[in-house]
């Protein structure tokens, strides 16, 4: 399927590994030129070369902290007029809410709510003027299905979801969409933190904890990052223009809700 994205330009935040990299890979395979981002310059350069060599698109690595104004400025200097913005960032670690001081809560809200809003503020009007734009926010299944210990992450991402829900409706007529993808348990480094917490809680080895967790998912497995990346690419495509303001849950059926 031709997604109609050849020659488009995208900023994909936190894309040196995990779900961000999967989104970058899928967009590149659709012909999108990329600006990718991460904190580790060496790893980022390696990923940029791998994606470019495999797909033939231009991939520009920008090593920076996207949570800072300086980092955001670097991303937008590398791609001043993105057609696609994929908002992604690391989340606070699993922690009892009683252990969160005010600074930790402010940091979590900055990472998972304010940073993506800052970037949307800076790119949205240009997308409207050009008559095409796709903004995709990587949030979490915990927005719909809270998990104790991930309260800060869930709260900040839920705030982002609510903040952008109305905005999405104001630009849809200009072929600009804003959607969220809510991942469940995917086989990424982030999952390791959940498994390690399970090991500490139960005393079981990692394989046992992983099997028990996967068994709770109706699909009876963890998600493959490529499944997530290809969903992102579809939402960004010419076929995604009638989908906006939505929360796309990719969790293997874990959330038992009918709506």
pLDDT at 85 over 90: yes
Average pLDDT over residues 159-168: 98
pLDDT of amino acid 114 = 98
Show the domains of the chain with their CATH numbers: 9-186+224-250 (3.40.50.720), 187-222 (no CATH)
pLDDT at 50 over 90: yes
Distance of CA 151 to the CA centre of its chain: 18
pLDDT of amino acid 189 = 84
Confidence of residue 216 (pLDDT cuts 50, 70, 90): very high
Q: Give the DSSP per-residue string, the chain.
A: ---S-TT-EEEESS-SSHHHHHHHHHHHHTT-EEEEEES-HHHHHHHHHHHHHHH---EEEEES-TTSHHHHHHHHHH-SS-SEEEE----PPS--GGG--HHHHHHHHIIIIIHHHHHHHHHHHHHHHHT-EEEEEE--GGGTS--TT-HHHHHHHHHHHHHHHHHHHHHGGGTEEEEEEEE-SBSSHHHHHHHHHHHHHH---HHHHHHHHHHTSTTSSPBPHHHHHHHHHHHHSGGGTT--S-EEEESTT-S----
Structure confidence by residue, pLDDT tens digits, 129-155: 999 999 999 999 999 998 888 999 999
Confidence of residue 193 (pLDDT cuts 50, 70, 90): confident
Average pLDDT over residues 66-72: 97
Confidence of residue 198 (pLDDT cuts 50, 70, 90): confident
pLDDT of amino acid 191 = 86
Average pLDDT over residues 2-6: 97
Q: What does the chain come to in residues?
A: 259
pLDDT of amino acid 159 = 97
Are the C-beta atoms of 139 and 182 separated by less than 8 Å? Answer: yes
Confidence of residue 99 (pLDDT cuts 50, 70, 90): very high
Question: What rounded mean pLDDT belongs to the chain?
Answer: 96
Q: What is the pTM of this model?
A: 0.95
CA distance 45 to 122: 26
Asked which of 90-99, 172-181, 209-218 is least confident by mean pLDDT, the reply is: 90-99
């Amino acid at each position: 399927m031709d997604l109609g994205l050849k020659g488009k330009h995208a900023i994909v935040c936190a894309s040196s590994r995990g779900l961000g990299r999967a989104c970058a890979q899928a967009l590149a395979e659709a012909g999108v030129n990329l600006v990718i981002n991460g904190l580790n310059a060496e790893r980022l350069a390696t990923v940029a070369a791998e994606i470019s060599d495999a797909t033939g698109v231009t991939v520009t690595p920008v090593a920076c902290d996207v949570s800072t104004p300086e980092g955001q400025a670097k991303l937008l200097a590398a791609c001043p007029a993105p057609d696609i913005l994929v908002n992604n960032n690391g989340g606070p670690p699993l922690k009892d809410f009683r252990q969160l001081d005010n600074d930790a809560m402010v940091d979590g809200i900055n990472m998972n709510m304010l940073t993506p809003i800052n970037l949307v503020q800076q790119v949205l009007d240009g997308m409207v003027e050009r008559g095409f734009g796709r903004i995709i926010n990587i949030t979490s299944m915990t927005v719909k299905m809270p998990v104790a210990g991930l309260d800060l992450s869930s709260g900040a991402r839920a705030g982002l979801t609510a903040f952008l829900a109305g905005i999405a409706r104001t630009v849809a007529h200009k072929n600009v969409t804003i959607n969220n993808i809510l991942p469940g348990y995917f086989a990424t480094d982030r999952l390791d933190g959940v498994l390690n917490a399970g090991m500490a809680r139960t005393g079981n080895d990692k394989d046992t904890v992983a099997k028990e967790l996967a068994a709770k998912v109706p699909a009876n497995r963890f998600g493959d990052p490529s499944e997530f990346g290809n969903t992102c690419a579809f939402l960004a495509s010419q076929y995604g223009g009638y989908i906006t303001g939505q929360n796309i849950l990719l969790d293997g059926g874990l959330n038992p809700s009918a709506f």
